Chains A and B, each alone.
Chain A
Amino acid sequence: MRSKLLHIFRNTPLGRETLFQSIYFCKQLNILPVVYIPRFTKFLMYFENDVVQIDLDDSYLTSADTAIDRITAMMEQEEIQPSFIEPQNFTASTLPDLPTDFDFMCCPRSMSDLSSKIGLGHIGTKVRWIIKYAHFPILLTSPVFKKWKSITVFFGGSANALKALRLGFRLSKISKMPLDIFTQLEENSPEVYKQIIKDEDLEDSLNQNIRKWHFFESGKFENNLYHVPHDALVVLGAYGYGLIKEMLFGSKMEKIQATISNNLLIAGPKYFVSK
């Protein structure tokens, strides 16, 4: 069955750039984009063990009457049949429930703030929540439409990083794009990471898909990020920490998104990928 990507549309220049990113992503990976045009500034997503309320800013309600035509035109230009989602259930009269049975979801880096504030260096609280609870990966797009021609996976050896790696293999196979892996050697040698791959029985997949595995032995992580190709889709695992935990424990996701402007595909802790 064809995979589906959920896109929350906003009828503004930034929103249309984001839709272009979704369309490109879907086209490369043969995914069906499903668009939700908000009628209210909030909606709920019921995940398996939590409910997340997304509070959108008012710009999401801009020119709702022209939204369908614009989306249709943009999709048909790329020969994609537009598909829309209309909420069937409402928790309260102005609080629709969106289904969560998607395979991907596209978000700007922040959904609740005005678009004028959005730039690199800030991932909104709601987007973090979605990452934390969603069983699907989240596509965090760059502010302007940017085609990607390769896939880069950040692999640090954790369980989430393994999920990201498996996801990267899958995307590389479907899109037939080259795959690079980036690893910052913190206190381990490259052999440790290779052993993790071996233990997880991923050696064959690695050999089939990989173009190059970059190990960074020295230098700050942020500085090494400049080696990431500017036209790569960056895939990484993340815990979706809130702001407080992030301040206490630090966050690789935050460093990556604040440093590079690539499109990011983030696999959260609840993302399930079949082995």
Chain B
Amino acid sequence: MKILSSLQTPTKLNFFHSDDRMLLIFIGSIIGACSGTAAAALNHFLHIAFTFFYPIRHHWWAFIFPASGAFLSALFLGKIVKDGAGHGVPEVIYSVSRHGGLLRFRSSFSRLVSSFLTIGSGGSAGPEAPVVMSGAAIGSNIANFFSMNDRQRITLLACGSAGAISAIFNAPIAGMVFTIEVILGGWRSANIAPIAIAAVAGTEISRFLQGDQIAFPHQLFDIRFPDIMACIGLSIFTVVASVLFTKFLRTTGSLSKKIKTPLMVRAAIGGCAVGIIGYFFPVALGEGYHSVREMITSTFTCGLPILLLGLMAKMFATSLTLGFGGSGGIFAPCLVIGSLTGLIFYKTISVLFPSVIWVNEGYFALIGMAGLISGVMQAPLTGIFLIVEITGGYEVILPLILISTISSTLCNYIEPASFYLKDLKEKNLLLHPGTDAGILSVLTVHEVIEKDCTTVKQNMLLRDFIKIISKSRRNYFPVENEKNGKFTGIIHLDDIRSFIFNPSIYNVVVLEQITTTGIKTADPDDNLLDILKTMDKDGLFSMPVVTNGIFIGMVSKATILDQYRKELMVQTTEI
């Protein structure tokens, strides 16, 4: 029993007690392998579904498949596992930001099943966000099993996310970079080793189960200076596409909430619409990797108008799938939309500059993908490394860097938060651990309240008050109404110095006459960040805490700073 108990709290074992890095690396590798297995399983089942549905997708009645898939997906999420719908990635970021990486156990499998139903039946979405959610939940729950603290749990959650992305794309660096750039929002040396090992474990598991293959065929491009410069123009196209796509997603989501029908019916309506769009534009269906392969190998033969319509169709289909209650992520749609944008750009410049010899359309499809990923997620490094790894082509690194940085910078200029973070920022829910707001958000008034204040009554004579001052070590004295005990104001020693040294008025002045009234008070449930803002704005060092008109204590900047330092150490200590 003792052995079992010590295994459940491994941080207490002597070997791990002084340095938990080895422990995190060890558990991180297990988590990476588990999340990699989950990702490979989803990929495998999606492949089976694709093979099953592909021969019958051209029938007019095939629109029923995405509709029924979305219906079943919403039914499973809403009624069977009772999990909320959504993309998954914002939920993981929120958990890291506000709750020390705590995620529900059900999230480790719920999105895998629901996204399989949505995407496998033809819904336009990607499996990457669901596997991130699943991997992160696996990491979080394993951390809970081993009774780990918030910092360790966040690291293990990140390991799950890295393992999942690495496995699904067979791209370990992209998995690491995505996790650090998007999920954690910052680099910390203590996190890197466990995340890297988890990414390796996830990739290895994926290679073992699915074979060592890259998602898209490797192409050799003869890139010259005009092709690199063309990236600047393409980045404008990808910025427009990114902003449009983000707007479509958000608008459709808001519109669908206004339809007063159960979520399952709504999801089915969205699925029906996707099926109809897919009948005319098959590129809009499913994850769309098949079309991306064709675009990279220059075998996607469509004219400019069809490409434009295809681009709009994919955007609409993804918005309808996800906005109406389907389950999945935007990673794969971004790749499809990005490659379509690249082709559109290629066709445009070929018309505008007929005398210039451009490399080929596959090259533009490829860097278009990086531009869109970087634009929508505002994560340039993820865009760069993902495309390098999934296409196996290092020779396009310069254009990739160029387009990713321009696209993410311009998108950030237009829309200050990425698609994943927009909702969280709007609701003020994004607070990264170790940041000022992140530390203050976990502290409460209850933790910093000083209760050793001496309250005085408003009818008390100055003479009696002087006696109290002589015994007190504080400068502030809250004043209460004698009859109902309600807080009326405060006396600060600085304000009454002239009265103290004038004994002739000791028996004449009552405290009501020298009390400062109408001062700002705090409530025990107030946010400390707001209290500090009020203190800064009004030049205060302390504020009385009052609830239902009754004084219960003081909060001061000094005590807040003291607690702030302690919490800062908890959140940022590396070992």
Show the binding face of A for B, using Cβ within 8 Å: 1-2, 42, 44, 46, 49-51, 53, 55, 81, 89-95, 97, 101
Contact = CB atoms under 8 A, between A and B. Distances in A.
A53 B98 contact: no
B86 interface: yes
B144 A50 contact: yes
B446 interface: yes
Interface string B48-71: 000000000000000000000000
A2 B547 contact: yes
B82 A91 contact: no
B84 A51 contact: no
Given A51-B104, A91-B91, A101 B547 contact: no
Contact of B84 (A2, A49, A93): A93
B147 A49 contact: yes
Contacts of B144: 49-50
B86 A92 contact: yes
Main SS at interface, chain B? loop
B524 A1 contact: yes
B553 A1 contact: yes
Interface string B428-446: 0100000000000000101
A65 to B, nearest CB: 16
Contacts of A90: 427, 429
Contacts of A81: 548
A94 B84 contact: yes
Given A53-B106, A81-B548, A92-B86, 15 more contacts: A1-B446, A1-B524, A1-B547, A1-B553, A2-B552, A42-B82, A49-B102, A53-B104, A89-B427, A89-B429, A90-B427, A90-B429, A91-B84, A101-B444, A101-B446
Interface in B484-521: none
A55 B82 contact: yes
B94 interface: yes
Contacts of B427: 89-90
B95 interface: yes
A97 B427 CA distance: 13
Contacts of B553: 1
A92 B84 contact: yes
Given A81-B548, A95-B84, A101-B444, A51 B99 contact: yes
26 contacts: A1-B449, A1-B524, A1-B552, A1-B553, A2-B547, A42-B82, A44-B104, A46-B99, A46-B102, A49-B102, A49-B147, A50-B102, A51-B103, A51-B104, A89-B427, A89-B429, A91-B91, A91-B95, A92-B84, A92-B85, A92-B86, A92-B91, A94-B84, A95-B84, A97-B99, A101-B446
Contacts of B552: 1-2
Nearest to A1: B552
Contacts of A94: 84
Kindly list the 3 A-B residue pairs having the minimum CB-CB distance in the complex, ordered from nearest: A92-B84, A51-B102, A95-B84
Nearest to B263: A94
Interface in B67-106: 82, 84-86, 91, 94-95, 98-99, 102-104, 106
B548 to A, nearest CB: 6
A53 B429 contact: no
Contacts of A89: 98, 427, 429
A94 B78 CA distance: 10
Contacts of A2: 547, 552
Interface string B454-467: 00000000000000
A50 B103 CA distance: 8
Interface string B251-271: 000000100000000000000
Given A1-B553, A101-B444, A93 B86 contact: yes
Contacts of A91: 84, 91, 94-95
A19 B427 CA distance: 32
Contacts of B102: 46, 49-51
